[in-house]
Amino acid sequence: MHMLSSFGRRLRRLPINAFTAIRQNPKSVALGGLYTINFACACHLFLEYVATVQIVYGPSMLPTMSEAGELVVENRMRYRIDPRNLKRGDLVTLESPIEPGRFICKRVLGLPGDTICVDPTGLKAPSTEHVFIPKGHCWLVGDNAALARDSRDYGPVPMSLIRVIPFPQLQDFSDLSVVFELVRLLSHETHMHYLVR
């Protein structure tokens, strides 16, 4: 009985809302807020520098990524540690060169020093047009050449825009991952034909 009544008294003493809490103990509430902000900052740093999960959507990367959206685990360390880790055929996410603040996912086709055929199909440029990729730039294409807006439209892209190389082995969590892997390899093969050296 005594315990119950003391519990009730304690309950009555508990702050009912945030305002009473601040009035009763302003210092500890403020400190708690600062701790929360600090913790959020630490989480943000981890997501920014180590690894993060993001949803990639849109038609430009079919069939590697579904149009409705696909979860991608991004390895944020690999590119930051050494930009030379970037290989032809890697997937990258980067800030769009034509729309600042928007992030896009593309595949690397050419690195600095390569000479690339702009569009072998002749849709967006004459199929005989070739481009030399200057220092610090790379040539990016979407896997779905018909619908992607990529280097064929805006030319070589500065490598400083690249943020991340996603983990290739963790791109899809579906049961059909083997099939997807095969399709991706095939599409990768067709893209490699574009490369003229």
Partner 1 sequence: MRNAYTSWTKLSSTHPVLKWSQTILFWLPTGIIFTKHGFTVRVVTGNSMQPTLNPDPSQPRDIVLFDRFSIESLRQYERGDIVALKSPHEHGKLLIKRIVALPGDTVRTLPPYPDKEVTLPNGYAWLEGDSSFESEDSNHFGPVPLALIDSRLVWIVWPWGRHGPLGTGKIGRRYSRSVEAAELERAARLRERV
The answer to whether 45 contacts partner 1 (rule: CB under 8 A) is yes
Integer-rounded Cα Rg, in Å, for the chain is 25
Give the number of residues in contact with partner 1, rule: CB under 8 A: 27
Please report, in angstroms and rounded to a whole number, the separation of the first and last CA atoms in the chain: 88
From candidates 24, 127, 160, 174, binder to partner 1 by CB under 8 A:
160
Q: Give phi and psi for 54, each to the nearest 5.
A: -135, 160
The answer to whether 30 contacts partner 1 (rule: CB under 8 A) is no
| Interacting residues with partner 1 between 84 and 143 (CB under 8 A) | 95-101, 134-137
Contact (Cβ atoms closer than 8 angstroms) between residue 63 and residue 183? yes
Nearer to partner 1, 30 or 196 (CB): 30
The answer to whether 83 contacts partner 1 (rule: CB under 8 A) is yes
Contact (Cβ atoms closer than 8 angstroms) between residue 160 and residue 79? no
Residue 6 a catalytic site member? no
Smallest gap from residue 144 Cβ to partner 1 (A)? 22
Contact (Cβ atoms closer than 8 angstroms) between residue 69 and residue 55? yes
What pairs with residue 52 in β-bridges?
74
Catalytic: which of 5, 6, 28, 60?
60
- Joined tokens for residue 55: 């949803």
Interface ranges with partner 1 (CB under 8 A): 34, 37-39, 41-42, 44-45, 48, 83, 95-101, 134-137, 154, 157-161
